[in-house]
Amino acid sequence: MLIESNKITSHNDELFKAHKNKLVFTASEIGETENIIQKLIDFQIAIPSWALGTGGTRFGRFPGGGEPRSLEEKIEDVGLLHALNNASGAISLHIPWDIPTDYQAIKVLAAQHNLKFDAVNSNTFQNQVNQTHSYKFGSLQNVNKAVRKQAIEHNIEVIQQGIALGSESLTVWLADGSCFPGQLNFRKAYQNTLESLEEIYAALPSNWKMFLEYKCAEPNFYSTTVADWGQSYSYVKKLGNKAFTLVDLGHHLPNANIEQIVALLLMEGKLGGFHFNDSKYGDDDLTAGALKPYQLFLIFNELVEGMDAKGMNHATDLGWMIDASHNVKDPMEDLLQSVEAIMIAYTQALLVDRKALEIAQNENDVVRAQEILQNAFRTDVRALVAEARLRSGAALNPVGLYRDLAIRKGLITERGLKTVATGL
Ligand code: AOS
Ligand code: ZN
Ligand code: ZN
Ligand code: ZN
């Protein structure tokens, strides 16, 4: 299924007048907008291949139909999202869920949709068919060397797959840990994991990055071997300058100050990228910005400040990705909403008056500092985000157009009602 460009044009024509009025008003409030709009046009957020099917919980799954049945169809879905918002120009694959049969054809298909291949993800949290050893008691940490070897080889295989596709980073998320006190020698689990990661790291091409994602709990509920940013940092610091920490917003203990974590990792040159989502309890993987838009803004505030201080390119120097999927929404609409929330938070962070904030901080003017941040956060920047889409040929209202074109209905007609996306 493809969206014809005249459909986007007539959608935009219909909304144009109201949009222009709003844009003029926004510009009158904030002044210079051209710089911001260009930054928004450049900013792309990768879509994880596993988010295109309905998520689920361990209690049930309620698929909505028309889900992608193959890697090709996942690429087509991300292509649809990108056509609607021009901000989802990359797909992140999970191996072995997404192994291509024909690499050249897959690359051509992705290019037709203007998509790049973002980080490739390894999977040592599930046993795969025909696998010799089980990951029941962990993978890279395992007390059994043969299990570790199998997991290392899998990661190296994922790098090879990524090279073939033109990806330039590997994300490692480990479910490794323990469920009960006494089950694991923490120090030995750490050492085994480090040695395993070193072998994987040695297989990285020189232009590649390795992201080590941390997570406080789940599926192990007593300890996790890469449980928090400090632990991830301690590994990536030892591994070398191609290794970085990946922050998944849902992987922290309640009330963690994620923006401070982000600021310090960035300062240390060890922040690699993000998995955006939102949560109330744990790794809920809800739509980004659905619950805590102010937190999302505060994170971007640190990112913009820290990246600018280092002269980094906002669009390319960190890995931006969504990691969310849910049970009750159309996954495509959910992803459009996440991208929109991320773009809004980024735009608001660009509005922060840095000079005034610095003065307020140096004068210990707490009230002024808060007002500066909240003024930016409370500015309605949606017209700027929409303008960036308009200028790049995407839709002024992506979810609206998705619904008007009945895209889900079209996908169900094409693929059937009872489809199960490969993967989770
Ligand atoms: C797991 O909780 C992590 O967030 C992973 O990044 C990701 O969700 C997983 O690799 C997909 O199965
Ligand atoms: Zn994640
Ligand atoms: Zn997660
Ligand atoms: Zn998550």
pLDDT at residue 260, rounded to an integer: 98
pTM of the model: 0.97
The yes-or-no verdict on residue 230 having pLDDT over 90 is yes
The Cα 235–Cα 226 span in angstroms is 9
Q: Which structure tokens are listed for 151?
A: 């997991």
17-28 mean pLDDT: 98
Q: Which helix (H) or strand (E) holds 275?
A: strand 271-276
Work out the pLDDT band at 327, boundaries 50, 70, 90: confident
Cβ-contact 379, 348 below 8 angstroms: yes
Read off the amino acid at residue 103.
Answer: Y
Token code pair at residue 370: 């808060």
The closest residue, in CA terms, to atom 5 on ligand 1 is 173
Ligand 1 atom nearest residue 121's Cα: 10
Ligand 1 binding pocket includes 121 (Cβ within 6 Å): yes
Q: Ligand 1: does its nearest atom lie under 6 Å from the Cβ of 248?
A: yes
| 413-419: average pLDDT | 89
Is 217 near ligand 1, meaning CB less than 6 Å away?
Answer: no
Domains of the chain: 5-118+242-415 (3.20.20.150)
**Chain mean pLDDT for the chain:** 96
Q: Tell me how far apart the alpha carbons of residues 355 and 209 are, in angstroms, rounded to a whole number.
A: 33
Q: What is the pLDDT of residue 56?
A: 80
Cα-to-centroid distance, 274 and ligand 2 (Å)? 8
Backbone angles phi, psi at 383, to 5 degrees: -65, -30
| H-only helix segments in 115-268 | 145-165, 186-202, 229-239, 258-267
Answer yes or no: is the C-beta of 359 below 6 A from any ligand 1 atom. Answer: no
Report the C-alpha gap between 165 and 361 in whole angstroms. 47
Q: What is the 190 CA–ligand 3 centroid distance (Å)?
A: 21
Closest CA to 122 of 170, 74, 188, 79: 170
Q: Structure tokens of 413?
A: 């007609």
Which is more confident, 424 or 293?
293
> According to the model, what pLDDT value does residue 167 have?
98
pLDDT tens for 50-70 read 999 888 888 888 888 999 999
Q: What average pLDDT score do residues 393-417 get?
A: 97
284-304 tens-digit pLDDT: 999 999 999 999 999 999 999
